[in-house]
Amino acid sequence: MTDTKKNLVGLSRDELKAEMVIAGEKPFRAKQVWHWVYHQGETDFAKMTTLSKDAREKLAQNYVVARPQVAENLLSEDKSRKWLLRLDDGNEVEMVFIPEDDRGAVCVSSQVGCTLTCKFCNTGTQRLVRNLSCEEIVGQFMIARDTYGEWPTPTGERLLSNIVLMGMGEPLYNAEEVVKAMKIVMDGEGIALSKRRITLSTAGVVPEIIRCGEELGVNLAVSLHAANDALRNQIMPINKKYPLDQLMDACRNYPGANNARRITFEYVMLKDINDSLDDAKELVKLIEGLPCKFNLIPFNGWPGVAYECSSGNAMHRFSNYLNDAGYSAPIRVSRGRDIMAACGQLKSESERKRKAS
Ligand code: SAH
């Protein structure tokens, strides 16, 4: 029955107003419903007590407040968590939570699968691709809040303090829905997450980078992974479309990319591929004059992949060189190894299991 009812999650404020009118309610009801859905996290219309009883019943007849279904929910021994989420059409995406001491980042997916086919990425091997809807993107973060009981939206400290758009998919190939979803998440009368606490990670969809800065003003992370076009073409095919000079231009022009809000360059450490001292030198030349920081990611292997993670020595040498050149370049601590937290791993495993049974 419920699947004939429209989900209110993912509607913009204007769309929600329009639905209230369709339902025969006054448009101002939208403000109240918004509060219940995004501030209180309420899913049951009957409990939305600021609405008249009549309005509650009417809404319940025509609408739902729903999230994607949680197919798996795995807690790592290091306290990171991974959810496998099942969408209405049966497709699956992953979401991860990476807690620090008193805060943490929820890593959200933007697509089912990914079209980029980066050679080191497991998601790139998964064929089926579609964009996630705004409803499904916002729904992910709401599931994280459900799991940790972080409703209503806390006024002070939060455990789920950040969103990183670093899950499956390329967010800037789904910019429309991602922008809409982040606007809902940033709305001060709902989930109320500040743009400073949102980071969008892109492989370098140059035309959309500026738009992301102008419309959202969130932090930008760029998956660089190589300091020259020859290597980057090889490991990230998107570089053939948007080569490094264009990508660097977009980064230099990113609104607010000053010292206060520096761009992060992600760099996956691949043994004997991109981890030499010469690579580090070339990298420093490439980003000259651009206020930025690095995030060195130890490569996370998966079955059938041709790469290995760099040695600890190589990673430290690389990190030290960047530090000496004046850049922050921590080596990311790998989390959730026991729950297959690397991009795309859990979904691939779930598909394998289904084929086997
Ligand atoms: N499409 C976006 C966001 C998703 S990937 C992007 O490319 O930025 C998030 C980050 O994980 C990217 O930097 C990606 O290159 C990296 N990544 C993918 N597979 C990895 C692996 N096996 N080990 C380490 N990092 C990986």
pTM: 0.94
Does the C-beta of 295 come closer than 6 Å to ligand 1?
Answer: no
Cβ-contact 84, 26 below 8 angstroms: no
Amino acid in the structure at residue 37: V
Closest by Cα among 225, 235, 223 to 263: 223
Name every residue whose Cβ is closer than 8 Å to that of residue 41 and which is 6 or more positions away in sequence.
142, 145, 146, 151, 152
pLDDT, averaged per 10 consecutive residues of the chain (357 residues), comes to 82 96 93 98 97 95 97 93 96 94 94 94 85 98 98 95 96 97 98 96 96 92 98 98 97 80 95 98 96 95 93 98 97 80 67 71
Domain 6-64 has CATH 1.10.150.530: yes
pLDDT at 353: 74
Does the C-beta of 202 come closer than 6 Å to ligand 1?
Answer: yes
Report the residue count for the chain.
357
Is 343 a residue of the active site? yes
pLDDT at 17: 96
pLDDT at 1: 46
Is 134 a residue of the active site? no
| Among protein residues, the one whose CA lies closest to atom 13 of ligand 1 | 223
Half-sphere exposure of 222 (CA within 13 A, CB side): 30
- In whole angstroms, give the CA distance from residue 357 to residue 342: 24
Domain ranges of the chain: 6-64, 69-356
pLDDT at 317: 98
Read off the DSSP letter of residue 304: T
69-356 shares the fold of 6-64: no
Read off the DSSP letter of residue 191: T
Does the C-beta of 208 come closer than 6 Å to ligand 1?
Answer: no
Q: What are phi and psi of 99, to 5 degrees?
A: -80, 145
| Among protein residues, the one whose CA lies closest to atom 5 of ligand 1 | 166
Does the C-beta of 203 come closer than 6 Å to ligand 1?
Answer: yes
Read off the DSSP letter of residue 265: E
pLDDT at 336: 78
What CATH architecture is 69-356? Alpha-Beta Barrel (3.20)
CB burial of 315-338 (b: ≥16 within 10 Å; e: otherwise) equals beebbebbeeeebebebeeebbee
State the first-to-last Cα distance of the chain, in angstroms, to the nearest integer: 30
